[in-house]
Amino acid sequence: MNSIIQLAWLVPVFPLIGFIINGLGRKNLNKTISGGIASMMVLGSFIISALLFAQVTHHQTANIHLFNFIQTKGLKIAFDFKIDQLSSLFLMIITGVGFLIHVYSTSYMHDEDNKDFAKYFAYLNLFVFSMLLLVMGSNFVIMFIGWEGVGLCSYLLIGYWYRNTDYTNAAKKAFIMNRIGDLGFLLAVFWLLAKVGTIEYDQVFTAASLAKLSAADITGITLLMFVGATGKSAQIPLYTWLPDAMAGPTPVSALIHAATMVTAGIYMISRSNALFSLAHTTQNVILVIGLATALLAASIAIKQNDIKKVLAYSTVSQLGFMFIALGTGNYVAAVFHVLTHAFFKALMFLGSGSVIHAMGGEQDIRKMGGLHKHMKITSITFLIGCLAIAGIPGFSGFFSKDEILAGAFAHNPVIFGATLFAALLTAFYMFRLYIITFTGSFRGTHDQKHHLHESPKAMTLPLIILAILSIIGGYVGVPEALGGHHQLAEFLSPVVGHSSHELSHNTEYMLMGISSVLVLISILFAWIRFKNYRVEGQATGLSKWLENKWYVDELYDMVIVKPLKSISSFLNNVIESKVVDGTVNGVGRFVNYSSRQLRWLQSGQVGAYVLLMVIGMIILFFIQFFL
């Protein structure tokens, strides 16, 4: 059965074919065909991924050599794929969630023109292709190819409605911020090339474990990689693009900006755990950044009124949780949370899409309310998502978040406290969102109220599937304290090793108890606070800061964007035109000027010429005899 693994190259090829067909045929395909092709291609990838996954569970992993991308003296980069536990798990998430979102999109995007519809699916397929490259590559360059590829698709899809300048601004911002991170990643790759001479995962990790890299090298490399991860996974300081990225169509937010692309940073770090485990400075940096991001984003999410913005900040915050796990060396927990988060966050985004669809494009939760009566499936599935993300026992989020918390506790109780606080904020803002949106009475216009309806099957079906996954998804990682085996940890152990923290079962029970109780209290608090929600007036004090996202965008604008612009203008208007060009033109002007002055000597009077001649002769005479 090795042949299945050898067919792994088909996984990314399917969506690539879909991209090409939809891209070239966008003028001639109708919606059923283009949507169908795109979805089928991803389904095909999913099926092969599932087969691969089955193989990998039997401990069959493989490197598949396709061709040499770059080969010259001193540099060899192979276009190889690596199928192992980690990549096959990500393949399942990407193609599985990806397929559901493709199906959902066929309905959600149905109001678009044929041409734009096909364009949308072409981009979506291209995204899946790039993301698959990212996780399947067997070296850092292939990962980088996918890494930039997903950034590109994110750019294209955020700016999908290209007539709106705000949207294209958001797209541009996303791309540029990602590029900043990408530069870090790229420099890490060069560093590896310079020190180890190869960028193949296996060889790099072997070299690291054999202490061929100095501690400074490893710290530098991992820090630069982490810079890349902060860009792609929206961590401080490069997170501000993600909330803006909500300008894209909602399924895109679900797929790219919640379930898959933004977890690339986590994938990268878990993949390179052999390096990161050796770099304690980097781990501490990751921990601090992750924690800060989790808290900051959660605090902002409390005061946002755009349904997608809340989810976006929630995503940033949840990614922060994953980085906390990575920072504590708890790679399994991070990957586990990627998995469960992919389910419940995709679910909630798609749910919000369903709401927006029903509201005719309205995204402001202050104008919603009482939607439960009108769209039961959406409401219930959304509730399941909220319960999962809040970490209510029994739902998937509980297990993964608990594991992160346990790891944090083992690392340092203070970190645990802060992380727990972020988790409480999470429960609070998610239920604020749910309560304001789905309960109470409707606050929108009359037209909107008449228009309210449950979404079609193509949209609700993915919701239901994701809701089920959000519940059961956690049971792959039931901790031993609860009598489970933690199959996920077992499964991933060949790649990431065994989890480090050693807590007694009693401590774990205590932690679970504390967090569960506090989360429930937090939800209760949200219920009391928002059950009779009325639109509030102008915010003041802290809430104004929160509403304005701590003014981080304004800060960046003031500290980076504006100075850069004025420096550039200065270079253009002063240095370029006055100094550099001025010097050049100055030389020309000097020659011109002096010629014009010398022209007066040419009077045309023969006498004058003779006089000059005589003067010249006299001067020569003097030079000859007296000097």
Partner 1 sequence: MGTYITFPDLLIWLPILAGVFCFVAGTEKNARTIALGFSLLVLGVAVTSLFFKEEGRYLNYNNVNYIWLKYIGANYFIGLDGLGRMLTLLTAIGFPLVFVATAKAEVKNSKSFYGLMMLTQAGLMGVFMALDALTFYFFWELALIPVYFLSSIWGGEKRIQATFKFFVYTFTGSLLMLIGIIYVYLHTGAHTYEDGTVTMHSFALSAFYNVQLSASEQNWLFILFFIAFAIKMPIFPFHTWQPDAYDQAPTSVTMVLSGIMVKMGLFGVIRWLLPVFPMAAVHFKNVVIILSIIGVVYASCVAMVQDNIKRLVAYSSIAHIGLMCAAIFAMNQVSIQGVMIQMFNHGINIIGMWIVVEVIERKTGIKKISELSGIANTMPTLTIFMVIVALANIALPLTNSFTGEFMMFSGLYHYNRWFAAIAGLGIILAAVYTLNMIQKVFYGSANAVTGELKDIEWTEKLSLLVVVVLIFAIGVYPQPLIDLTQSAVNNLLVRI
Partner 2 sequence: MDIKAYIILSMVLFTIGVVGVLVRRNAIIIFMCVELMLNAVNLLLVAFSKMHALEAAAQASPNLASDAQIFVFFIMVVAAAEVSVGLAIIVMMYRNVHTVDVNFLNRLKN
Residue 613 in contact with partner 1, rule: CB under 8 A: no
CB of 601 to partner 2, least distance (A): 11
**Which residue type occupies 460?**
T
* Near partner 1 in 46-75, by CB under 8 A: 67-75
* Near partner 2 in 407-426, by CB under 8 A: none
Under 8 Å between Cβ of 518 and 420: yes
CA distance 12 to 142: 13
Residue 9 in contact with partner 1, rule: CB under 8 A: no
Length of the chain: 627
Residue 598 in contact with partner 2, rule: CB under 8 A: no
Under 8 Å between Cβ of 311 and 252: no
Q: Which CB sits closer to partner 1, 143 or 350?
A: 143
CB of 571 to partner 1, least distance (A): 5
Residue 571 in contact with partner 1, rule: CB under 8 A: yes
584's contact among partner 1, partner 2, none, with CB below 5 to 8 A by partner kind, is partner 1
Q: Which stretch binds partner 2 (CB under 8 A): 273-281, 306-314, 351-359, 606-614?
A: 606-614
- Binding residue (CB under 8 A) for partner 2 from 542, 559, 574, 610: 610
In this structure, how many other beta carbons lie within 10 angstroms of the beta carbon of residue 145? Answer: 17
Q: Which CB sits closer to partner 2, 2 or 605?
A: 605
Residue 361 in contact with partner 1, rule: CB under 8 A: no
SS3 at position 79: strand
Q: Which stretch binds partner 2 (CB under 8 A): 181-189, 261-269, 400-408, 607-615?
A: 607-615
CB of 577 to partner 2, least distance (A): 38
Under 8 Å between Cβ of 325 and 355: no
CA distance 47 to 89: 13
CB of 258 to partner 1, least distance (A): 24
CB of 240 to partner 1, least distance (A): 16
Residue 73 exposure: Cα atoms within 13 Å on the Cβ side: 0
Cis peptide preceding 237, ω within 30 of 0? yes
Sequence-separated (6 or more) residues with CB below 8 Å from residue 601: 612
604's contact among partner 1, partner 2, none, with CB below 5 to 8 A by partner kind, is partner 2
Under 8 Å between Cβ of 102 and 42: yes
CA distance 289 to 418: 13
- Binding residue (CB under 8 A) for partner 1 from 172, 366, 374, 451: 172
475's contact among partner 1, partner 2, none, with CB below 5 to 8 A by partner kind, is none
Q: Which stretch binds partner 2 (CB under 8 A): 179-187, 216-224, 259-267, 596-604?
A: 596-604
610's contact among partner 2, partner 1, none, with CB below 5 to 8 A by partner kind, is partner 2
CA distance 197 to 191: 9
Rounded to 10 degrees, the C-alpha dihedral 145/225/84/325 comes to -140
Q: Which CB sits closer to partner 2, 538 or 605?
A: 605
Residue 244 in contact with partner 1, rule: CB under 8 A: no
Q: Which CB sits closer to partner 1, 216 or 612?
A: 216
Residue 190 in contact with partner 1, rule: CB under 8 A: yes
DSSP alpha helix (H) spans, 452-580: 457-472, 487-496, 505-530, 541-547, 552-556, 562-570
Left (φ > 0), alpha (ψ -120 to 50) or beta: where does 544 sit?
alpha
CA distance 296 to 511: 23
CB of 179 to partner 1, least distance (A): 5
Under 8 Å between Cβ of 466 and 346: yes
Sequence-separated (6 or more) residues with CB below 8 Å from residue 217: 191, 195
Residues forming beta bridges with residue 71, ordered by sequence position: 76
Residue 361 in contact with partner 2, rule: CB under 8 A: no
Residue 605 in contact with partner 1, rule: CB under 8 A: no
CB of 233 to partner 1, least distance (A): 18
In this structure, how many other beta carbons lie within 10 angstroms of the beta carbon of residue 616? Answer: 10
CB of 621 to partner 2, least distance (A): 12
- Binding residue (CB under 8 A) for partner 2 from 605, 623, 624, 626: 605
Residue 594 in contact with partner 1, rule: CB under 8 A: no
Binding mask 547-586 for partner 2 (x = CB under 8 A): ----------------------------------------
Sequence-separated (6 or more) residues with CB below 8 Å from residue 99: 39, 42, 43, 46
Residue 607 in contact with partner 2, rule: CB under 8 A: yes
Cα distances (angstroms) measured from residue 368 to each of 299, 365, 537? 22, 5, 17
Residue 541 in contact with partner 2, rule: CB under 8 A: no
Q: Which stretch binds partner 2 (CB under 8 A): 213-221, 399-407, 408-416, 604-612?
A: 604-612
Residue 557 in contact with partner 1, rule: CB under 8 A: no
Residue 536: what are its φ and ψ, rounded to 5°? -85, 160
Residue 595 in contact with partner 2, rule: CB under 8 A: no
542's contact among partner 2, partner 1, none, with CB below 5 to 8 A by partner kind, is none
Sequence-separated (6 or more) residues with CB below 8 Å from residue 262: 232, 233, 234, 242, 256, 315, 319
Residue 620 in contact with partner 2, rule: CB under 8 A: no
CB of 604 to partner 2, least distance (A): 3
Q: Which CB sits closer to partner 2, 540 or 597?
A: 597
Residue 3 in contact with partner 2, rule: CB under 8 A: no
Residue 20 in contact with partner 1, rule: CB under 8 A: no
Binding mask 103-122 for partner 1 (x = CB under 8 A): ------------x-------
Q: Which stretch binds partner 2 (CB under 8 A): 13-21, 135-143, 149-157, 602-610?
A: 602-610
In 3D, which of 438, 413, 422, 147 has the Cα closest to residue 265?
147
Sequence-separated (6 or more) residues with CB below 8 Å from residue 441: 369, 370
Cα distances (angstroms) measured from residue 143 to each of 228, 277, 588, 609? 12, 20, 53, 80
CB of 575 to partner 2, least distance (A): 43
Euclidean distance between the first and the last CA atom of the chain, given in angstroms as a whole number: 103
Q: Which CB sits closer to partner 2, 216 or 611?
A: 611
Cα distances (angstroms) measured from residue 455 to each of 255, 371, 533? 19, 12, 25
Under 8 Å between Cβ of 48 and 10: yes
Interface with partner 1 (CB under 8 A) = 67-75, 115, 141, 144-145, 148-149, 152, 155, 159, 162-165, 168-169, 171-172, 175-176, 179-180, 182-183, 186-187, 189-191, 193-194, 564-565, 567-569, 571-572, 575-576, 580-581, 584, 588
Interface with partner 2 (CB under 8 A) = 602-607, 610-611, 614
